[in-house]
C-alpha cells in the first residue's frame, strides 16, 4: 500500500492506537501519521502508508481547523479535562466580552505550549518531566490564529471554532482565554475538522475498514 488515508479518530484512544489498529486491519507494517491527537480529542488524522510516509513532515506543517469545547470558571493542571481542576471565578462573562477576548487571541501571537505535551525538553517529552514532578521551562513560539468564532455559548460552556497554523495548542488558547476573562478556563473537548485541504467529512471510521481492500480503495495520492 502507498498513499494517504483519512481517519476519524474516536475519543479514548491514542494516535498510536490508531496506527496499531490499522496495521492489524490492513496487514501493512509501514504506517505513519501527519500529526497526533490527544486521547480526549477526536477527529481528522492523516495516516500515511508505505513510501508516502516520506511526506509526513510537509503534511504536518499544514494549517488546521478545530472545534473546541471550552469550560469557563476553573483551570486544569493539564489544560484539559484530565487534569486536577481548581475553581477560579463564578462570574459569567457576557457574549461580547468573549468575542473581544477571542479577537485578542487572533492573528500572530506568542504562545507557551503546555508542559503536558510531547515537546522534547533535554531529550525527553515534556509530559514525562511533568509526571516526574520536575519543573522545566517551556519555550515560547510564534503561532497564527487565522480565524476564531463562537459557535455557541451557555455558561460555563463555550463552543468555538479555530483555524490555526501548525504547532498551535488549542489547550493553551483555552487557558489564555480564561486569563483574559479573569474566569479561568480549560479545554473540555476537541474535534479536528480540517488539515490543509483535507476534511473530517471525507474520513473513514476505523470500524469501516473491514478488509485491506477497503483501506486501499480509499488511499489518496500525496
Residue 220 has pLDDT above 80, yes or no: yes
Please check whether residues 38 and 90 belong to one and the same domain.
Answer: no
Write the pLDDT tens digit of every residue in 24-65: 999 999 999 999 998 999 999 999 999 999 999 999 999 999
Q: Is the same domain home to 85 and 165?
A: yes
Residues 190 and 200 in one domain: no
**Marked catalytic residue, from 17, 38, 63, 201:** 38
> What is the pLDDT, as a whole number, of residue 134?
73
> Based on the domain organization, do 131 and 50 belong to the same domain?
no
87 and 141 in a common domain = yes
- How sure is the predictor about 136, in pLDDT bands with cuts at 50, 70 and 90? confident
User: According to DSSP H, which parts of the chain are helical?
Assistant: 15-26, 56-60, 95-104, 126-131, 170-181, 212-217
CATH number of the domain encompassing residue 112: 3.30.2350.10
User: What integer pLDDT is reported at residue 121 of this predicted model?
Assistant: 66
Number of domains making up the chain: 2
Q: Each residue of 143-167: pLDDT tens digit?
A: 999 999 999 999 999 999 999 999 9
Residue 222 domain-assigned (yes or no): no
38 is catalytic: yes
Quick one: 175 and 206 in the same domain?
no
Q: Is the preceding omega at residue 156 within 30 degrees of 0, hence cis?
A: yes
86 and 44 together in one domain: no
Question: What nine digits make up the cell of 95?
Answer: 457574549
- 205 and 162 in a common domain: no
120 has pLDDT over 90: no
Q: What is the mean pLDDT of the chain?
A: 93
Whether this model's pTM surpasses 0.75: yes
87 domain residue, yes or no:
yes
Are 175 and 168 spatial neighbours (Cβ–Cβ below 8 Å)?
A: no
Q: Note whether 112 and 94 are same-domain residues.
A: yes
What is the pLDDT averaged over residues 69-87?
95
3-class DSSP state for residue 30? Answer: coil
Q: Which domain holds residue 213?
A: 3-61+196-217
132 and 213, same structural domain?
no
Amino acid at each position: 500500500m502507498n498513499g494517504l488515508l483519512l481517519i476519524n479518530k474516536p475519543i479514548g484512544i491514542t494516535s498510536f492506537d490508531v496506527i496499531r489498529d490499522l496495521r492489524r486491519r490492513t496487514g501493512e507494517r509501514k504506517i505513519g501519521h501527519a500529526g497526533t491527537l490527544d486521547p480526549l480529542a477526536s477527529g481528522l488524522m492523516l495516516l500515511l502508508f508505505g513510501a508516502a510516509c516520506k511526506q509526513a513532515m510537509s503534511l504536518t506543517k499544514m494549517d488546521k481547523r478545530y472545534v473546541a469545547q471550552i469550560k469557563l470558571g476553573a483551570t486544569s493542571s493539564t489544560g484539559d479535562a484530565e487534569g486536577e481542576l481548581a475553581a477560579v471565578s463564578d462570574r459569567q462573562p457576557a457574549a461580547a466580552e468573549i468575542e473581544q477576548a477571542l479577537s485578542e487571541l487572533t492573528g500572530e501571537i506568542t504562545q507557551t505550549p503546555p508542559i503536558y505535551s510531547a515537546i522534547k525538553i533535554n531529550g525527553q517529552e515534556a509530559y514525562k518531566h511533568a509526571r516526574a514532578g520536575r519543573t522545566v521551562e517551556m519555550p515560547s513560539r510564534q503561532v497564527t490564529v487565522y480565524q476564531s468564532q463562537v459557535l455557541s455559548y451557555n455558561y460555563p460552556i463555550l463552543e468555538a471554532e479555530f483555524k490555526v497554523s501548525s504547532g498551535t495548542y488549542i489547550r493553551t488558547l483555552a487557558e489564555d482565554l480564561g486569563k483574559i476573562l479573569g474566569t479561568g478556563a480549560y479545554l473540555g473537548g476537541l474535534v479536528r475538522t480540517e488539515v490543509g485541504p483535507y476534511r473530517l467529512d471525507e474520513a473513514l471510521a476505523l470500524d469501516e475498514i473491514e478488509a485491506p481492500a477497503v483501506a486501499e480503495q480509499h488511499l489518496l495520492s500525496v
